[in-house]
C-alpha cells in the first residue's frame, strides 16, 4: 500500500474536493490503487457478510502490526475499503480494536452521502476488521 496516502494526506485531499461528486470520484480513484487480491484470498472465510457487494478482507499480524489485503466487486465499495485500510494502517491489533473510524467518515463528509446499503456495508467491514483484530 505504498502508493496510498496516509491519514493526514487523505484528510487534506478530501478537504480539497469542492463537492460530493469530486469526493465520490476520489473514493473510486483510491479503490483503483488497492493492489489486486489473489484468488486464494477470495474464499468465503475472507468474505464479509452484510455487504450488498462482494467484499473480501484478509488480515495478518506482521511483527505486531496488522497488514491488510482486500477487494470488492463494486468500485465505490473498494474505495471505502481502501479508506478503512488507510485509517487502520500500521496499527497493532489492540489499537485497531480501540479505534472507532466512524468519526473519520463524518469528517470526510462521506457518511451523509452513502446510501443505506453502502452504510451498512461499511459498518460490516469495520466490524469485521475490529473482530478479526481482536482475534489476532
Instruction: List, by residue number, the catalytic residues.
Output: 51
Supply the Cα-derived Rg of the chain in whole angstroms. 14
Half-sphere exposure of 73 (CA within 13 A, CB side): 7
Please list, in sequence order, all residues whose beta carbon lies within 8 angstroms of the beta carbon of residue 122, skipping any fewer than 6 positions away. 80, 84, 105, 114
Query: Is there a contact between 55 and 77 (Cβ–Cβ < 8 Å)?
Result: yes
**Distance in angstroms (rounded) separating the CA atoms of residues 122 and 72:** 12
**Distance in angstroms (rounded) separating the CA atoms of residues 85 and 108:** 15
N-terminal to C-terminal alpha carbon distance within the chain? 21
Amino acid at each position: 500500500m505504498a502508493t496510498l496516502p496516509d491519514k493526514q494526506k487523505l484528510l487534506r485531499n478530501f478537504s480539497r474536493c469542492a463537492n460530493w461528486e469530486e469526493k465520490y470520484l476520489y473514493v473510486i480513484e483510491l479503490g483503483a490503487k488497492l493492489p489486486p487480491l489473489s484468488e486464494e484470498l477470495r474464499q468465503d472465510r475472507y468474505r464479509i457478510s452484510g455487504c450488498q457487494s462482494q467484499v473480501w478482507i484478509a488480515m495478518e499480524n506482521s511483527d505486531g502490526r496488522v497488514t491488510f489485503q482486500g477487494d470488492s466487486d463494486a468500485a465505490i465499495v473498494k474505495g471505502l475499503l481502501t479508506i478503512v485500510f488507510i485509517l487502520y494502517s500500521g496499527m497493532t491489533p489492540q489499537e485497531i480494536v480501540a479505534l472507532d473510524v466512524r468519526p473519520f467518515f463524518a469528517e470526510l463528509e462521506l457518511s451523509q452521502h452513502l446510501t443505506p446499503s453502502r452504510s451498512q456495508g461499511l459498518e460490516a467491514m469495520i466490524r469485521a476488521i475490529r473482530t478479526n483484530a481482536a482475534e489476532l
